[in-house]
């Protein structure tokens, strides 16, 4: 998911709106070889922008046909939040609700199966967890040059900020950092209990809403393209995740309930350390991480790296937390403990 995020506690999708839009499969078109399905050329950003100038003509969904793009370029074209594999457009329906409309930039044969499995699993969760943002996946959602392409629709979240932005805002408030740490721990415990793994836990895919009157902040997860639920067992990951949050030994086959454990530990350790030494944020944050870089996980003893420096920090608590995390980095990815177990060990530091 792109860096800027869909921000709002928007009204829940109705059951009809949240249903996966998977129409009956049409016969596969074929090239000269009957066994080779025809895959149309995937639209470019410019082609999507041209189409969105007239939503009533390009979208299949009745609601999306009535929406208008809210963000325009200096040339008057719909302006997206751009990502490597998709763009997200902020659109508004006549009733005032805002939506994030995600348009994909590449073909992925497993996308429909994956989103159908996710939707089926998540709709069974009762009550729906607060961290879950409802979505509707429209397999044949937008028509470009006579061909149909998928659309992912989510409510646009307001009054929330990406995780790293939020952390920067509270960095000099140790109590607020500890509240965020504890909320992160609770989030990951709930995800494991609900048998849901995100696949790309990182600052850009987690939005935070400030807690009021000293209450804990509320976390929301975005971008489920790489998520896992039990129905997807036996498949391989289609994404590798943000390198500043993933174990260097992660393989495509490591697609299961342990998928988020390293990222969960990496963020938790970051918050543990910054609650004691906030000045480290200004030294190691680069705008696309929170404390670590991939090089820390690969070269754990390299001088100049955050992990090396913090393992020798004058604050004993920071030093021991970094050393504990270093052992996780050096162990095989399959041996990373769940966050609850790691947090209990960290409490004994």
pLDDT digits (tens, 9 = 90+) for 222-231: 999 999 999 9
Residue 5 belongs to a domain: no
Write out pLDDT tens, residues 261-306. 999 999 999 999 999 999 999 999 999 999 999 999 999 988 889 9
CB 243 within 8 A of CB 262: no
Query: What's the rounded Cα separation, in Å, for the pair 318 and 208?
Result: 25
Percent share of the chain, pLDDT over 90: 76
Query: What's the rounded Cα separation, in Å, for the pair 212 and 235?
Result: 42
Is there a single domain that holds both residue 43 and residue 180? no
Domain that holds residue 80: 15-23+39-155
Computed over every residue of the chain, the mean pLDDT equals 88
Query: What's the rounded Cα separation, in Å, for the pair 118 and 112?
Result: 10
The pLDDT assigned to 158 comes to 85
Is there a single domain that holds both residue 192 and residue 250? yes
CB 16 within 8 A of CB 63: no
Is there a single domain that holds both residue 301 and residue 188? yes
Cα–Cα nearest to 86, from 155, 149, 37, 159: 149
Q: Is the dihedral of CA 142, 148, 154, 156 positive or negative?
A: negative
Structure tokens at 214: 């000293």
Is there a single domain that holds both residue 279 and residue 216? yes
Is there a single domain that holds both residue 197 and residue 237? yes
Residue 242 belongs to a domain: yes
Q: What's the total number of domains in the chain?
A: 2
In this structure, the number of other CB atoms found within 10 A of the CB of residue 136 comes to: 24
Domain-terminating residue out of 155, 189, 214: 155
pLDDT category of residue 21 using cuts at 50, 70 and 90:
very low
Token pair 């073909």 is found at 107
Is there a single domain that holds both residue 150 and residue 277? no
Residue 27 has pLDDT above 70, yes or no: no
Residue 32 has pLDDT above 80, yes or no: no
Do you know the residue count of the chain?
A: 349
Domain-terminating residue out of 94, 128, 155: 155
The pLDDT assigned to 7 comes to 39
The pLDDT assigned to 37 comes to 57
Query: What's the rounded Cα separation, in Å, for the pair 163 and 167?
Result: 6
Q: Which residues of 97-114 are buried (b: 16+ CB within 10 A; e: fewer)?
A: bbbbbbbbbeeeeebbeb
Is there a single domain that holds both residue 196 and residue 168? yes
More confident call, 40 vs 31: 40
Is there a single domain that holds both residue 323 and residue 205? yes
Is there a single domain that holds both residue 186 and residue 102? no
Structure tokens at 239: 């994404």
Is there a single domain that holds both residue 124 and residue 53? yes
Residue 58 belongs to a domain: yes
**How far, in Å, are 6, 101, 225 from residue 3 at the CA level?**
10, 15, 15
CATH number at residue 65: 3.30.200.20
Cα R_g (the chain), whole angstroms: 21
63-73 average pLDDT score? 95
Cα–Cα nearest to 263, from 333, 319, 213: 333
Residue 30 belongs to a domain: no
Is there a single domain that holds both residue 191 and residue 116? no
| Helix or strand holding residue 148 (H, E) | strand 147-155
Query: What's the rounded Cα separation, in Å, for the pair 134 and 149?
Result: 20
CATH number at residue 319: 1.10.510.10
Residue 28 belongs to a domain: no
Query: What's the rounded Cα separation, in Å, for the pair 7 and 162?
Result: 9
The pLDDT assigned to 82 comes to 86
pLDDT category of residue 349 using cuts at 50, 70 and 90:
low
Domain-terminating residue out of 155, 179, 195: 155
Is there a single domain that holds both residue 253 and residue 188? yes
Residue 34 belongs to a domain: no
Residue 73 belongs to a domain: yes
Write out pLDDT tens, residues 88-139. 999 999 999 999 999 999 998 889 999 999 999 998 998 889 999 999 999 9
């Amino acid at each position: 998911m792109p860096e800027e995020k869909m921000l709002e506690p928007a009204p829940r999708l109705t059951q009809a709106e949240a249903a996966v839009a998977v129409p009956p499969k049409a016969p596969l078109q074929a090239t000269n070889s009957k066994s080779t399905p025809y895959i149309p050329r995937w639209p470019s950003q410019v082609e999507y922008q041209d189409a969105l100038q007239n939503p009533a003509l390009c979208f299949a969904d009745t609601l999306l046909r009535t929406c208008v793009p809210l963000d325009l370029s200096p040339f008057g074209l719909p302006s997206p939040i751009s990502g490597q594999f998709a763009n997200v457009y902020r659109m508004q329906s006549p009733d005032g609700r805002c939506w994030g409309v995600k348009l994909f930039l590449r073909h992925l044969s497993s996308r429909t199966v994956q989103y159908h499995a996710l939707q089926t699993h998540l709709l069974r969760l009762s009550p729906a967890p607060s961290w879950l943002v409802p979505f509707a996946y429209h397999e044949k959602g937008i028509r470009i040059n006579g061909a149909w392409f998928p659309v992912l629709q989510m409510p646009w979240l307001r009054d929330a900020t990406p995780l790293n932005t939020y952390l920067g805002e509270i960095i000099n408030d140790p109590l607020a950092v500890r509240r965020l740490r504890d909320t992160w721990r609770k989030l990951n415990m709930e995800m494991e209990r609900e048998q849901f793994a995100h696949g790309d836990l990182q600052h850009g895919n987690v939005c935070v809403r400030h807690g009021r009157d000293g209450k804990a902040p509320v976390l929301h997860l975005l971008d489920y393209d790489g998520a896992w639920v039990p129905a997807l067992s036996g498949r391989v990951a289609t994404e590798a995740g943000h390198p500043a949050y993933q174990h260097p030994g992660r393989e495509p086959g490591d697609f299961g309930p342990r998928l988020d454990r390293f990222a969960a530990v990496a963020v938790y350790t970051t918050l543990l350390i910054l609650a004691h030494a906030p000045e480290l944020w200004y030294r190691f944050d680069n705008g696309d991480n929170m404390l670590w870089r991939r090089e820390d996980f690969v070269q754990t003893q390299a001088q100049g790296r955050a992990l090396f420096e913090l393992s020798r920090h004058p604050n004993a608590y920071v030093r021991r937390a970094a050393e504990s995390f270093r052992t996780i980095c050096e162990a095989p990815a399959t041996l990373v403990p769940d966050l609850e177990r790691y947090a209990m060990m960290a409490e004994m530091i």
